[in-house]
Structure 1
């Protein structure tokens, strides 16, 4: 399939205030309301009268709250904050035939991860995200983006006990992700984000990820925007290879590293659209608008405005909720100010943007 496609205009609001348009979005996760965490605990308590039906209502309420919170801060495309999900691999492993859980595994320090095992051939049973998307789409007044963990991370972050190679497992999972995306598109989804945080940490497998993405987008109409989110790693080890990936947009975590890696993408020319992280999800401080504006300009070193998407570095679920909202609100305001300055000619696209210190 020929990617990237010119499919971002559909997300421009009819009442957009500027001629220039930088698409604003979020990566996915958002802090859950504290009462939702309590509800999750109650449903597992045998002495509680809190039922699965009660929990579904709580999840619906939380999804409604976070979707509207995203809309209030002005984002062009919204997510429900992934309020129904636990972790990015566990959630899908619980829904894919062939996975099983055998208890948490220590990953670093005192942190544990409920790492699943692939003990049998993986298979697609019933949709993973369609109900979630349909609910959010009915609640939202803006386009809804659907984040989905990619097959490479689903395979790499699990114990492989069923396949001769991890590569074989990843390709089988890619075929399942393709089925899920087809179901989502049938339900009306137009913006899908594939999350592959494992890629930048094991870059020698970039060719496997490319083949998996080919399988994922097979048969998906080019009107559907396909993004790839990558974070935490040495991007020089996967660039320019990612230019060959069949995606419309690549979302990169660069703010946390003070844009020290931004020049990696200047040569050769960056082919997909760039979704640039402009607020740091690792700091519980709300960056001022002027600082975020300078971060946005770093992206203009790589792509023109019509190919630049603005987002936080990664999911914001570990931040205090008021901080997460403040970051999103200032991010949108900074973006709209940069658009206005582009319209007025205050930002000269021919003039080099200073490299981060």
Structure 2
């Protein structure tokens, strides 16, 4: 019989219980034991939800207090020397110091953070050293397995494989590949497999997500070597080799040649690979079919998925099939059942994580007992799929006609950068190393409460508007007193940089509880793009114009770029992504033009998702980059020369796409470089990036306030790479998640650092 499986479940809880626990712990209002107890309750609920839905192999170890990659670094004993200080009293303190930095006892920055493949989830980048010592630290994982075995007879630990773990980290102080440490690390994985066998584990989910990438010969050999080396330690444990987000492509023969008992196929993002897999699967191996999209919210076309599964049944039999999602459901909201914000028609087209479990169970039963056993569910699903396909709400002729009228001229500014720079400097009159921030300022309890009261109807619109203006006044005054050169209005009216626009653009719906984890306790609620996109009216002009009226300094208009709105939403899957992105770009273009007409001379169009949207395979990247760059240029090129266009990108590897970043032709780009100690800036220097750049000089994702001297050191590194005439000084991201006390202290240090370096350059 085919087996219903799941690669992982959202950690945060249906009502973001884990978020609130973490933030209470960090504030000191609960202790470590309360945090552990609360987290255990969330984990237990997740397990019971999956078992009740019909999942037969229960994933264990997918839960994390902050990040699963950091968890695995600690499970193999890889704690960088700086964090081994006795000033960190507990292991929990050490864990969170590595994740988010600390100034309690020890003064330590956080480890580097970057995007998990092409998703909006961020992982903590492990740090390896040439003399790295590994040591197994799996007691907590083994305790989780024992607890799960009391709920389900068949549990499947989720293990991040050793080759991916090493390659997701960085070997500090060396140009060698982290794979030089593989044999040392395999000793720890041998111990782990022995303990899993002793614990009665039957199957292990062996995650090697690097199989979705272009692999060199060294990585291919490492995968083969690792599994051959570990084979004697496995005992009775079976391994399902798991990767996701892409087809295996040329790595498919390698995957099936490895010493594993099953291979998982992401058949949502790589449906074409099944036929090849059926030719390579060995008689003793099973196939894990990822038929349900773990990254999007649309109902699975069960008839189509069942047809795919039946192809595998005909070839190898149902007894060798595992049925599941394309990837972990970490990237999906928890449960659609409590949604009240989404209208009934669109809601009928959707499935969140809880509903995806049902889809997996229905498909498995249909395979095992025949489609007639779930005839009602299949009929209801088919009706929903057809209703969405034929709905008039998904197609707008006016939007499509305008989209078709885009010309090459609409993708270009009036003049080149040097011409624009001269006119902008004359208009803005900024000093050397101008200071600014990325956009948002602290979203205090008062701000969130006022927004919630307004939405519930408890706060009249006029009173809410007055509240926002008061907060904006205070924000402008604070920035002026700090001496910042280019100001922002603070974004107190905005819940999120994408959701805010999704609420105002046609073709979107927003959910009430559709939260997904971005990193740690940071959750986002992506809007859902279901139809053609257009802007019915101005979205940001009124508040930005008001802020500019309060100061003689320039105030940036703050917009989110079309690529980021696209990828940080749940995207419609019934037309090319490029078309949807260009529709959004036209809406942002209109908004930028309206801001300019209102007297706003600096407009920031953020694109932190540009690198995130990059296909995982080299062969696919050029086509994506062309349309992504075109979309940004379409959004940003409708303004005059003297209007300065900024953009912002963060927490990703930029170097491989620098030509495309330059092709955006933004006047100023701000990037995250503080966690990497300006390492990312080296690529911009080698490339000779032509326009202006603001490397982030402190990490806003940490509560730690760096000293002025620390920022001066980073700026000196920046000046060595980029001419100071083209350098800006700014934090590495927006400040909404921080408190005012730390924000003002950090910005004061930042402004002082800029002044000190200006003096040094004079």
TM-score under structure 2 normalisation? 0.42
Aligned residue for 1:348?
Answer: none
1:64-83 equivalence runs, <5 A: 64-83=473-492
Tell me the CA shift for residue 175 of structure 1: 1.1
C-alpha distance in 2 between matches for 1:271 and 1:178 = 24
Change in CA separation of 1:281 and 1:112 when aligned onto 2, cut-off 3 Å: closer
Instruction: Say whether 1:285 aligns with 2:694.
Output: no
Query: Deviation string for 1:30-88 (max 9, x for gaps)?
Result: 10343222322333456x4x322211111111111111111111000101111111001
Instruction: Pick the aligned partner of 1:57 from 434, 458, 466.
Output: 466
The residue number in structure 2 matching 1:353 is none
Cα contact 1:200–1:231 (8 A) shared by 2: no
8 Å CA contact 2:509–2:530 kept in 1: the answer is yes
223, 237, 241: which one aligns with 2:642 = 223
| Moved segments of 4+, more than 6 Å | none
Counterpart in the other structure of 2:147: none
Partner SS, residue 254 of structure 1: coil
Residue 172 in structure 1 maps to residue 583 in structure 2: yes
Shift of 1:110: 6.9
Find the counterpart in structure 2 of residue 298 from structure 1: 717
Is the CA contact 2:678–2:695 (under 8 Å) kept in the aligned structure 1? Answer: no
The DSSP-based 3-state class of the residue aligned with 2:487 is: coil
Q: Could you tell which deviates more after superposition, 331-340 or 111-120?
A: 111-120
Q: Deviations over 1:274-321 (max 9, x none)?
A: 111111112222211111111112221332111111110000111121
2: CA distance, partners of 1:33 / 1:102: 22
Partner residue in 2 for 1:352: none
Contact 1:163-1:169 within 8 A present in 2 as well = no
Deviation at 1:247? 1.2
Q: CA contact under 8 A between 2:563 and 2:632: conserved in structure 1?
A: no
Q: CA RMSD in A?
A: 1.9
Structure 2 residue aligned with 1:187:
598
Q: Label 1:163 to 1:274 Cα distance change in 2 as closer, same or farther (>3 A).
A: same
**Offset, 1:206:** 2.8
Which residue in the other structure is 2:728 paired with? 309
Q: Deviations over 1:228-275 (max 9, x none)?
A: 111111112321321222211111110122222221122221111111
- Please give the secondary structure, in 1, of the residue aligned with 2:466: helix
Aligned residue for 1:86?
Answer: 495
Alignment partners' CA distance in 2, 1:81 and 1:214:
25
State the secondary structure of the residue aligned to 1:140: coil
In 2, Cα distance between the equivalents of 1:121 and 1:44? 26
Q: Which moved more, 1:232-241 or 1:305-314?
A: 232-241
Q: Judge conservation of contact 1:284–1:319 (CA < 8 Å) in 2.
A: yes
Return the offset for 1:208: 2.2
Question: d(CA) in 2 for partners of 1:176 and 1:196?
Answer: 15
Deviation at 1:139, TM superposition (A): 1.4
Larger RCO, structure (CA 8 Å, separation 6 or more):
1
Q: Distance in 2 between matches of 1:219 and 1:35?
A: 37
Higher helix share: 2
Q: Hey, what's the Cα distance between the residues in 2 that align with 1:131 and 1:310?
A: 27
* 1:192-207 paired onto structure 2 within 5 Å: 192-203=603-614, 204=621, 205-207=624-626
User: Is 2:429 the partner of 1:12?
Assistant: yes
Q: Secondary structure at the match of 1:311?
A: coil
Structure 2: unaligned runs, 5 residues or longer: 1-412, 615-620
1:162 deviation in Å?
7.3
**Cα 1:140–1:119 shift into 2, 3 Å:** same
Which residue of structure 2 aligns with residue 260 of structure 1?
Answer: 679
Aligned-partner Cα distance in 2 for 1:288–1:122: 45
Q: Assess if the C-alpha contact under 8 Å between 1:105 and 1:112 holds in 2.
A: no
SS of 1:160's partner is: coil
Equivalence for 1:118: 529
Aligned pair count reads 335
User: Which residue matches 1:38?
Assistant: 449
